[in-house]
Amino acid sequence: MKLEIRRFSEKDIEEVLSMIQETIHSINGQDYSLREREVWAGSFTDVQQWTKRIQSSEAFVAKSGGRIVGIVNLQPPDIVDLLYVHKDLQRQGVAQSLLNVVEQFASKKKALVLHTESSVTAYPFFNSQGFRIIGEQSKSVQGITMKNIRMCKKLHS
């Protein structure tokens, strides 16, 4: 698979949000209930809110075959905020490629550690990339409580 990684552009937002919603519904079923997935995916519908949030960060998209297949963003100075890969392209190196881009960016900005709040589903990926558990937490979205995992990774200086 040929993968192009470039900076996020405002024109990407609808395709990105759609990809995120589909992915949440498709790959998280073993770890989150249908209601949890509905609320989680439903939090990715406000185009203006997400455009503003993503543009306030260092964001990159992965494209393959003319479509967006992944997104990552780094909220300054050291938080991996979003990392999503298209439901049909899981475990094909897309997430690793995107994470490498933000790790390099963060290192250039002199960050020593990256932090993230991983879903239960994404935990094995982040663990395999050198992230370690800080602790588990519960987050409430529209009255629905969902578990995630706070993690960090030391960067090489």
Residue 101 in domain = yes
Two tokens, residue 54: 């993503």
Question: What's the pTM?
Answer: 0.93
Residue 139 has pLDDT above 90, yes or no: no
Q: Is residue 151 part of a domain?
A: no
Chain segment 30-75, per-residue pLDDT in tens: 999 999 999 999 999 999 999 999 999 999 999 999 999 999 999 9
Nearest alpha-carbon partner for 79 in 133, 116, 50: 116
Domain containing 71: what range? 4-110
CATH number at residue 59: 3.40.630.30
Long-range contacts of 28-31 (CB under 8 A, 24+ apart): 28/119, 28/120, 28/121, 30/121, 31/119, 31/120, 31/121
Residue 31 lies in a domain: yes
Q: Is residue 39 part of a domain?
A: yes
Q: What is the pLDDT of residues 14-27, one digit of tens each?
A: 999 999 999 999 99
Beta bridge partners of 84: 71
Does 153 score more than 70 pLDDT? yes
Q: Is the pLDDT of residue 116 over 90?
A: yes
